[in-house]
Amino acid sequence: MADTIHASADLSCDPLWRQAEACLRTLYGDDHRFEHSLIDLKARVADACSARPTALRHLDMTRANTPNWFLKPGRPAYCTYIDRFAGTLEGTAQHLDYLEGLKVGIFHPLPLLKPREGNSDGGFAVADYREVDPRLGTMEDLRALAAELRARDMSLVLDMVCNHTAREHPWAQKMLAGDPAFADFYIVLDSANEVAEWEAALQDVFPDTAPGSFTYDAGAGGYVWTTFYPFQWDLNYANPRVFVEMADSLFFLANAGVEGFRLDSTAYLWKRKGTISRNLPETHLILQALRALLTLVAPSTFLLAEAIESQASVLPFFGTPQARECDLAYNNGVMTALWGALADQKAGVLKTTIARAGEKPAHGHWLNYVRCHDDIIWLALSDTAAPERLTHWSDFFAGKGSYAKGEAFQAPEGFPASGCGMAASLCGGKDDPQMPARLKLLYGLTYALEGVPLLYMGDEIALENFDAYRDDPDLKDEVRWLHRPVMDWDTAGRRHAPGSVEHDMYAFHRQLADTLSAIDFKPGQSVCTEAEERLVIIERPLAAGRFVCVANLSAEPVIHKVAGRVLIGSDNDTLPAYGLRWFIEES
C-alpha cells in the first residue's frame, strides 16, 4: 500500500486517510480554513511518504505483521536526559554497551529538541521541532544515534511536546508579528473576566510556581493560555492549521528515525469552557487522526500517551480496534498504587489498580514504571483510594515519620502534595539496609506486569537524590530536579564489583530481563484476591502453565508455599521481608 501512495500521491481512497479525514471533518468541518488545511495536510502526508528513507521503509515492512513489535520480551525501555547521561548525542553513542548490558530495547531520551533559552521546564518548552538542542548535537547526530540504536535492535523514542510550544517558537513569534497564517495558533483571551470564567472549571498544575492557566502578555494583547509555565504557550487545536503543523512535525521526526513518540500532556489538547479541559472527546479525535496518518507515513512508529489521569480517564487513550489512538500508555495508576502499597505494607489499592489496568483493549499496552522524571501525583488515584490514604502516602514519602527520603511537590489546593525523589531514596537510601530489597520488590513487580517495563536512569545502580539541584540558581525552585541526577559513571563502574549495591542492582535488572526473555507469555494477566493482604500475586498465562510473581510488601516474613519452578528469589516457603519470587507453575 505504501508504494502505491508514493507513486501516485493520491490518498483520497486510502482507508487510513479517510479515517483521519472523517475525524478532522468532525472537529473542523465548520471552520472556513478546513478545506484548505485538508489539501495542505494531504500534500504533506504524500511528501512525508515519499521522503521516508529506505532503511525505515524496510523496518516498516519487517514489522508489518507484528504491530506490537515494541513488546520485546525482557527488553525494558530506558529513560534519561541526554545531557545528564552523557553530555551530548555523540557521547550517548559511547554508552550503548551500558544499555545493552541491561538488555534495553527502547531508548527514551527526555526532550532534546531545541528549547527556549533559560528555564525550559527540562526541555518541555520547545522552540523548534526540527532542530536538536545545539548543546546536545545536531539533527545529523540524532539520525546517526537512531541508526546506531537500530543496528543494535534498540528503538529511539522521543517526546512530542504537542500541547504547547515555547513563546520563542516561530509559530508564536509569527503570531506576535501579526502574520495572518498564524493568527489563531494559541489561545488569547481579552479580559480578566473571561479568564475568570474559564478558570472556574480548571485545575492548576503548578499552583505554587505557576498559578493559574493564563499569562498576560502585552505582545499578544491579552491573556495567553499557559497550562504549565508562563513561557509554555498552549496550542489552539481548534485551529485546523495547528493540527497540520503538529502532524507534519511528527512525520519529520519519524523520518529521521524516531520509532516511537511520547505524546506529552496528551490529556490537555482540547479546551472547552465550563470543563476541566482535559480528556475531552475532541482530544481523542485528534489522536485517532494522528494515529491513522502516522500509520500511512511511518506505520511501524508507536504513540505513547502521557496522560497522568485517573485510570478511567487513561483507558480511552488506547482508542478502539477500529479507531486506534495510542499504542502504549503510562500505567500511572499501578505505579502510584505500588508506592502506596509499599507504605502500607498491604496490597489493597494496588490489587484494584492492577485489575483495572486489565480492562485495556487487546491492541493497547502499558508502559509499566516505578519512577520517571516527574513527581508522583497522588491525586490521580482520588477515585480509587480514600483521601486519608493519599495524604498518608504523600507524607510518608516526604519523609514524615518514615524511612523515605523524598520531598513534597506542589499539588492543586485540597489535594495531597505530590512526591519527588529517586526510587532508591524513597526506599530509604543507601544507608538503609532494607533499601535494596524494597527497590528490587518494586522493579520485580513492575517487570512482571504485562507490557513494557521502564527503567529510569540511575535506578539500575540505586542512584540517590540529586540534592545539588538546590545549588543551581536555574533549578533550585523546582523540586522535580531532586530526581533528575547527573549520571555518576564512577559509581556506575562499581557494577563490576561484586558485593557493591551497584553490582547487586545492575545484576538484578539483568536477571529480570534475561528471565523474561526466556518465557513465552500469552496475553492476559490477573491479580489474586488472596486473603493474605501483605502479599500481591500476579499471574500471567503461558503456552503451558502460568507465570507467577509473588511479592511480600511487608517488613515481616510471610509464609507462601511455592508450587512450581522458581526463577527469581528463593524456593523457601517463607518469603522474607520485602521478598520477591517469580516462578512457573507447569500445567
Specify the residue, 197 or 474, whose C-beta has the smaller distance to ligand GLC: 474
Long-range contacts from 32-35, C-beta under 8 angstroms, 24+ separation:
33/239, 33/240, 33/241, 34/240
State the sign of the Cα–Cα–Cα–Cα dihedral 304, 309, 315, 317.
negative
- Asked if 418 contacts 393 with a C-beta cutoff of 8 angstroms, the reply is no
The grid cell for 247 is 502532524
CB of residue 265 vs ligand GLC: minimum separation in angstroms? 4
**Least distance to ligand GLC, CB of residue 45, Å:** 27
Inter-residue contact 539 to 563 (CB < 8 Å): no
Q: How far apart are the first and last CA of the chain?
A: 44
Q: Which is nearer to ligand GLC, 133 or 395 (CB)?
A: 133
Burial of 163 (0-12, 13-18, 19+ CB in 10 A): buried
Task: Identify the CA nearest to 106 among candidates 139, 74, 60, 58.
Answer: 74
Burial class of 180 by CB neighbour count within 10 A (0 to 12, 13 to 18, 19+): exposed
Find how far residue 557's CA is from the centre of its chain: 35
Count of CA atoms in the C-beta half-sphere (13 A) of 389: 24
Dihedral sign of CA atoms 448, 449, 453, 455 in order: negative
Cβ proximity to ligand GLC, 334 vs 354, nearer residue: 334
Which cell is 4 given?
Answer: 502505491
If one counts every other C-beta atom within 10 angstroms of the C-beta of residue 491, the result is 16
Residues near ligand GLC (CB under 6 A) are: 121-122, 124, 161, 228, 264-265, 306, 373-374
Compare residues 107 and 124 and give the one whose CB is closer to ligand GLC.
124
For residue 584, give the 3-state DSSP assignment: strand
Please name which of 525, 430, 505, 499 lies closest in space to residue 460, comparing C-alpha atoms.
505
Residue 121 CB, nearest distance to ligand GLC (Å)? 5
Please state the closest distance from residue 347 (CB atom) to ligand GLC, in A.
Answer: 28
CB 547 within 8 A of CB 522: no
How far apart are alpha carbons 423 and 439 in whole angstroms?
A: 7
C-alpha Rg value of the chain to the nearest Å:
24
Three-state DSSP at 247 gives helix
Grid cell of 366 as nine digits:
502499558
For ligand GLC, the closer of residues 122 and 257 by Cβ is: 122
Q: How far is the CB of 81 from ligand GLC (least distance, A)?
A: 11
Q: Which amino acid is at 280?
A: L
Return the number of the residue (122 or 340) whose C-beta is nearest ligand GLC: 122
User: For residue 106, what are the CA distances in angstroms to 56, 124, 472, 521?
Assistant: 16, 20, 31, 20
Q: How far is the CB of 367 from ligand GLC (least distance, A)?
A: 13
Closest distance of CB 372 from ligand GLC, Å: 7
CA pair distance 531, 230, nearest whole angstrom: 50
| Catalytic residue list | 264, 306
Q: How far is the CB of 277 from ligand GLC (least distance, A)?
A: 15
- CB within 8 Å of 326: residues ≥ 6 apart: 263, 266, 287, 291, 302, 303, 304, 305, 317, 318, 319, 364
Phi, psi of 173 (to 5 degrees): -65, -40
Interatomic CA distance for residues 380 and 309, integer angstroms: 5
CA separation for the pair 352, 354 (Å, rounded):
6
422: nearest Cα among 453, 393, 465: 465
Residue closest to ligand GLC, measured at CB: 124
